[in-house]
């Protein structure tokens, strides 16, 4: 679903809705790729199939994390570790800027194999900077897995957790952030998104909350983890991290969907927030 959203966004003519994921369309079936070139098809997907505001959220999130990834490469970070990478294509799209920065993608074996299968089918070469690491977040040791893959301790790194935390058990989230704390070098960065904990209690407070909850239920991929509104700094402090940027739906709308005249042309689903933090 995320890959489809990115592919759709890459074909948008409206620059507010257009993301830079030019690889995502090539990962889709040929018929669907051709269909998405048509504006009515993109409109139907973004407005009728996706929950309210989720397409806008994915567009904003893609741009936000792309910027963080590019900045890490410009700053010559030693490593980038992407948790739950899914069909993330940043290592391919930005490989020319990677230099000596190594990129590690962690994901469950079935998703990772599906992605690699598409790369082979589309003749997309895996860049030399990229290492795939298969892991079951709820059952296997992440430190052991990344040690085996050659991920270095205490070097300046960027950690990305995109569309992941809400699907994990709290124990797994704790283990991931403990791993980041233990491996991160000085001035490392962490970028992630999360949902408000009230959504797990079905409070129905936010734009598009009912629709996204129904989609998650239909997909049989329930959410298990959220952070209480206003408590993200406290959450980060427990892992020796400090908050440097926080974007809720309103902030994302202002940043990515507001015209110079002040008109907001896209409303972002209110259930998610984006965070950038640094290690202390």
Q: What is the pLDDT of residues 197-237, one digit of tens each?
A: 999 999 999 999 999 999 998 889 899 999 999 999 999 99
- Please state whether the predicted TM-score (pTM) of the whole model is above 0.75: yes
For residue 83, the cross-strand partners are 106, 161
Please tell me the number of Cα atoms within 13 Å of 275 on its side-chain side: 25
Confidence band for 191, pLDDT divided at 50, 70 and 90: very high
Residue 182: the pLDDT is 97
Residue 49: the pLDDT is 83
Q: How far apart are CA 256 and CA 28, in angstroms?
A: 26
Quick one: angle between helices 54-74 and 209-218, nearest 10? 80
Name the phi and psi angles at 239, rounded to 5.
-120, 25
Confidence band for 178, pLDDT divided at 50, 70 and 90: very high
Average pLDDT value for residue range 247-270: 97
Domains of the chain: 52-279 (3.40.50.150)
C-alpha Rg value of the chain to the nearest Å: 18
Residue 9: the pLDDT is 96
Tens of pLDDT, residue by residue over 97-142, are 999 999 999 999 999 999 999 999 999 999 999 999 999 877 889 9
């Amino acid at each position: 679903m995320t890959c489809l959203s990115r592919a759709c966004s890459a074909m948008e003519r409206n620059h507010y809705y257009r993301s830079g994921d030019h690889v995502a369309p090539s990962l889709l079936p040929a018929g669907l790729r051709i269909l998405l070139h048509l504006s009515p098809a993109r409109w139907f997907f973004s407005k009728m199939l996706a929950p309210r505001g989720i397409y806008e959220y994915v567009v904003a999130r893609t741009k936000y994390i792309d910027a963080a990834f590019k900045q890490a490469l410009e700053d010559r970070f030693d490593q980038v570790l992407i948790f739950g990478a899914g069909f993330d294509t940043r290592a391919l799209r930005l490989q020319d800027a990677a230099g000596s920065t190594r990129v590690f993608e962690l994901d469950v074996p079935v998703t990772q194999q599906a992605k690699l299968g598409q790369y082979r089918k589309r003749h997309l070469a895996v860049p030399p900077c990229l290492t795939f690491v298969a892991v079951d977040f709820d059952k296997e040791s992440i430190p052991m897995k990344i040690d085996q893959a050659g991920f270095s301790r205490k070097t300046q790194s960027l950690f990305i957790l995109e569309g992941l935390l809400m699907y994990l058990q709290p124990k797994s989230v704790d283990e991931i952030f403990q791993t980041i704390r233990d491996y991160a070098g000085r001035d490392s960065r962490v970028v992630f998104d999360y949902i408000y904990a009230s959504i797990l209690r079905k409070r129905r407070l936010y734009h598009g909350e009912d629709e996204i909850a129904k989609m998650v239920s239909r997909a049989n991929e329930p959410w298990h983890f959220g952070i209480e509104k206003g408590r993200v700094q406290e959450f980060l402090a427990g892992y020796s991290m400090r908050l440097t940027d926080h974007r809720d739906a309103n902030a994302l709308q202002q940043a990515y969907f507001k015209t110079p005249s002040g008109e907001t042309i896209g409303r972002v689903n209110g259930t998610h927030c984006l965070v950038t933090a640094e290690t202390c």
